[in-house]
A and B are shown apart, each in its own frame.
Chain A
């Protein structure tokens, strides 16, 4: 028999689950948990500077490991500050367990100090959530939270724990502790649907493989590449799917959609069969849904049954773990070179290629990304913030492995980059982690420079500074009669001084005689670094599909 508090039980269950790093910020209602955590010799706590930072650190760890990761906050503002990071994880299907402190149960509903109904607030942005009412309940809730976060389509789960539950004493036998959670088994395969899909692939003249984030999440990237090679399928990737197939693979046709290459969207337009794997037909990927791939039949494979037929009706819909479905599909799909179709794809590629103006000039946006890629190998992890720089990196960086690329796809959260990069470096300290950011995004979680300096992690922030909200500036220029409003900053902070003030070394490429050499030196020195580069505000992201237009109505590029 052992007696412990609810808080000690929570720590014990986290340890047994294999959690080794937690990001968070303490506060009144979560102090019993922090007191218990201080006694753990297995779990390392990383003190963030804003709860949203802690949320994205957990995301960074989860995005590179694929395993649910944990962040912690107190009640009230601590909990509400996590909301954006939770919503972001929900839209990008990132497994995360969020633990918040709550006021004591007797005070719930009294508008107590730092009381907020975080359970109610997070209903629409979590896979599931819990308000724990006794220490005994933790024995079920804690493993359930991890199981739900990692099963099926991954996502965030919130556990709200009132302070009295954390303090409540519970007496249990060692044997009563629940086993660490494992993922639910995958749904049974519909073999008739697999057969139909294989027949459609075998019969298609101009098929295209369409790979989404689910391919990365389920560890199916090698199988997807194998399917493409076996059946001669050109493959496009969504923003979340980048890295599933090496971008320089002969069958890769790059990223589709709003900022995809012209040839990519044209190849899709000509396809007669789309094999959509672990993707959800996001509007930024497919443009106007009714005009997307008008001649194509659709095979749709997804672990989330509610994604099937949601935006586009599939001719064959397969509710399955992507990896299991591809394994079953491979022996049924004929080996075909598809020379005529691939020649047509090559012809479109050479007529409407992705263009990278200024690629050889490290002071230009594409040139800077190119120079970073040239200085690193595929072991580096690349995170971004949100905006023009994000799209340029998605277009130009040579992603060659799954989980190399961390970006806020669904929610598009500015401020995502720095704390996510910190989380990635916490999970994989031996890799170089690059965070491409813009000056607008960087300022949204800039306080995490303090966490970065404290942890001394190998994170290189490449700040592409145009002193503007670049994508807003671009859209106002293109679609709002050049009426530029609230998109240019009137003052400009000295980011080099700011970084140095936080204790992070900084390099200003603007002042470097040889920016390429200065960049390489900064990237290859261990520890954190800010690399500042001014870029031209008049450079826009092209091609661009105007919001609401069909993907073939691209402008520029």
Chain B
């Protein structure tokens, strides 16, 4: 019988991408976002979240590998009620680079 239902997932690319999200700041937002990546089997390499302005909003930076599903993941992110917008940066974005000092 034919066992395999879907074609195998291609390996993740090497190129990294930084996603910058503006989100509503309340308990549960992080779990919505992390859960979305986890349940769609998409690895998050790095994550950073801080409240902005009056504390009603937060900004989240995600470091992910670029693969062909990334556009789909961004569309899924944009569907979340608490995600106000998603911006995509190349790996040259320095937010995670400047954090590296804390990890050595």
Contacts and interface: CB of A to CB of B under 8 A. Distances in A.
Interface of A: 119-120, 123-124, 127-129, 131, 148, 283, 289-290, 304-306, 308-310, 478-480, 546-549
A257 to B, nearest CB: 14
B81 A148 contact: yes
Contacts of B72: 306, 309-310
B75 A305 contact: yes
A128 B35 CA distance: 13
Interface residues of B, number: 22
Given A305-B78, A306-B75, A306-B79, A547 B2 contact: yes
The residue among A128, A131, A306, A309 with the most chain B CB atoms within 10 A of its own CB is A306
B71 A309 contact: yes
Given A283-B6, A290-B7, A119 B28 contact: yes
Interface in B65-80: 71-72, 75-76, 78-80
8 contacts: A119-B28, A123-B35, A124-B36, A129-B28, A289-B6, A308-B75, A310-B72, A548-B2
B39 A547 contact: no
Contacts of B71: 309
Contact of B5 (A119, A129, A304, A548): A548
A381 B7 CA distance: 38
B12 to A, nearest CB: 18
B3 to A, nearest CB: 6
Given A128-B81, A131-B28, A148-B81, A289 B7 contact: yes
Contacts of B39: 124
A304 B72 CA distance: 11
B4 interface: yes
Contacts of A309: 71-72
Given A119-B28, A124-B39, A547 B5 contact: yes
Interface in B23-49: 27-28, 31-32, 35-36, 39
Contacts of B79: 304-306
Nearest to B81: A128
B32 A123 contact: yes
Contact of B3 (A120, A306, A308, A548): A548
Given A123-B35, A305-B78, A306-B76, A546 B1 contact: yes
A310 B75 CA distance: 10
A304 B79 CA distance: 8
Nearest to A481: B1
